Structure 1
């Protein structure tokens, strides 16, 4: 895990989904930005679908944000992909990443478009008179519904409330078991993606905060 690269991701202006994927890669990476997790592991850590993960990885690669290299086993068979994060990239911006992401989706959808008929002789023949049908993938740009709540915070809200919220979590026994920085980054990511338990704790925090402020106004201790 590279806290340095994770911080770059958190400080970027990427959309939450793209940011979570970038941070997930950084969470696996060493300080040189290198790691080789499977795409399913990355998708699980970022709490996104495999298809969304693949589109964003391709977008990151097209922009030079990451580089990939195929690794091979001793017997010559393919192993994992090696990911190398380019921390010097100037393309880690929301507009550039989203444009590249949409281009990757558009390219994939065009390949899946159907525009053929099957004549009696069994040979495929293009029929320009038939309408083109495009297959859309469901949940292509969202988080897994089984894992998230519809409620989440944006980056401005996280920055505004995080210090007090983290203190509240500590007061109810939610504390870092190892690295405090890693734990804080995980909580921030959970707030951005709407993790159910974290958002429930945040709602409880807001209630407790409201009661405290009300008592302060009334002059109670």
Structure 2
């Protein structure tokens, strides 16, 4: 146990892995995508790897790798890190959606996203548009949108902090004359006289 404590104390982010474990490498890539530099110990390539693996199993790591420590605290394995990552992405998504009455998540190459934006702007609304292929945490936001049920992930339209959906849902609201009242309730537009 002391050997794990000693290795974890040296760096802010430590991942215990095996060179053949693709999940360990995926978790390391995910952590690096946030800008963190993790120290990776490949248990099958270091002399005391079996001893460390036994200590990790005693800590409750099932399976033994990946085992992630952040700030000397044991976070868990792949499932725990992915769950934590999704929660962070959901928090970011909530903050972005709370900023404006209308928020559209888009990709710079998505013509449907641009069409939905044009439709909403035609009523006088000024949506916040986040092109997830151009912002630093875009991949995490896209995973959160997929988790919320956006298929495809873009366009994803929020009106009044509520997920409306994609292009089909927005167009359905427009056809049923429900889009403008929704924009008015969200205070994205004040009045609409149809001109």
TM-score, normalised on structure 2? 0.29
TM-score (norm 1): 0.27
Q: Which has the higher strand share?
A: 2
More helix, by proportion: 1
